[in-house]
Amino acid sequence: MPLANTSQKQAGGFKKGASGNPHGRPAGSRNKATLACEALLDGQAEALTQKAVDMALAGDVVALRLCLDRIYPPRKDRPVAFALPPITSARDAADIMAAVAEAVAAGDITPSEAAEYAKVVDAYVKAYHAAELDDRVARVEHLTDSDLLRIASGGHAPAIVPSRLLRDGR
């Protein structure tokens, strides 16, 4: 065994941050076991499905569960009929979350559903703040130089406006 190869193994294999396969597994490549199973089952899907249905009808509980899970899969979420107060500002978030907490306490919604409501309210508040900031920036960008100088000087217009502060003749 060459000396360089031995020292690389003793040092722990590859250099930190360097992959032995930098391009990774090719896109679309499939596991050999999956390909073998597909080859075995190719053309048998209909017969296997019918056998599962026959076993379920004969009383096999596992086959019945398999068939029912395919016909009517378990729901991850359920629609919740819960009246939220209207959302008209970010300030309403506290009122909304208070209503959600009351609904959890009353047993109308589950704590996990309340957490989902909280995510929705949080997303709304973030969007509201972003829109509000955008509106503020737009208003500032539309101010004239004299308006900006008046604001910067505490409300009264300066007697002389330096020419370097003027733009576009405003």
pLDDT of residue 13: 64
Q: Are residues 147 and 63 in the same domain?
A: no
Q: Which two tokens stand for residue 36?
A: 């073998």
10 in any annotated domain: no
CA distances 105 to 48, 85, 110, 115, 121, Å, are 49, 17, 9, 14, 19
Q: What digits encode the pLDDT tens for the residues 93-135?
A: 888 898 889 989 998 888 888 898 899 889 888 888 898 899 8
Check residue 163 and give its pLDDT.
56
Residue 67 domain flag: yes
Q: Where are the alpha helices (DSSP H) in the chain?
A: 3-10, 32-41, 45-57, 61-71, 92-106, 111-141, 145-152
Residues 87 and 154 grouped into a single domain: yes
DSSP, collapsed to helix, strand or coil, labels residue 154 as: coil
In a domain, 118, yes or no: yes
Residue 92 lies in a domain: yes
Which of 74, 108, 126 terminates a domain? The answer is 74
Least confident of 25-29, 79-83, 110-114, 148-152: 79-83
Task: Indicate whether 84 and 145 sit together in one domain.
Answer: yes
In-domain check, residue 99:
yes
CB atoms within 10 A of CB 2: 7
Place of tokens 């199973």: 37
pTM higher than the cut 0.75: no
In the chain, the number of structural domains is 2
Residues counted in the chain? 170
In a domain, 17, yes or no: no
Same domain membership, residue 139 and residue 87 = yes
Last residue of a domain, one of 22, 44, 74: 74
- Which has the closest alpha carbon to 74: 61, 65, 83, 87? 65
Residue 132 has, within 13 A of its CA and on its CB side, a CA count of 10
Are 108 and 137 part of one and the same domain? Answer: yes
Q: Is residue 43 domain-shared with residue 126, that is, in the same domain?
A: no
pLDDT of amino acid 58: 92
Q: List the domain range (segments joined by +) for residue 46.
A: 31-74
DSSP string, 69-99: HHHSPPPS------PPPP--STTHHHHHHHH
Q: Is the pLDDT score of 92 beyond 70?
A: yes
Between CA 64 and CA 36 the distance in angstroms is 27
Using pLDDT thresholds of 50, 70 and 90, give the confidence band for residue 5. low
Q: Same domain for 105 and 157?
A: yes
Do 91 and 167 fall within a single domain? yes
Residue 160 predicted with pLDDT over 70? no
Q: What is the pLDDT of residues 31-85, one digit of tens each?
A: 888 888 888 878 887 888 888 889 989 998 998 888 888 877 776 767 777 777 7
Q: How confident is the model at residue 8 (pLDDT cuts 50, 70, 90)?
A: low
Counting beta carbons within 10 angstroms of the beta carbon of residue 73, is it exposed (0 to 12), middle (13 to 18) or buried (19 or more)?
A: exposed
Whether residues 97 and 61 fall in one domain: no
Q: Are residues 127 and 144 in the same domain?
A: yes
- Same-domain check for residues 53 and 94: no
Residue 70 forms part of a structural domain: yes
127 and 153 both lie in a single domain: yes
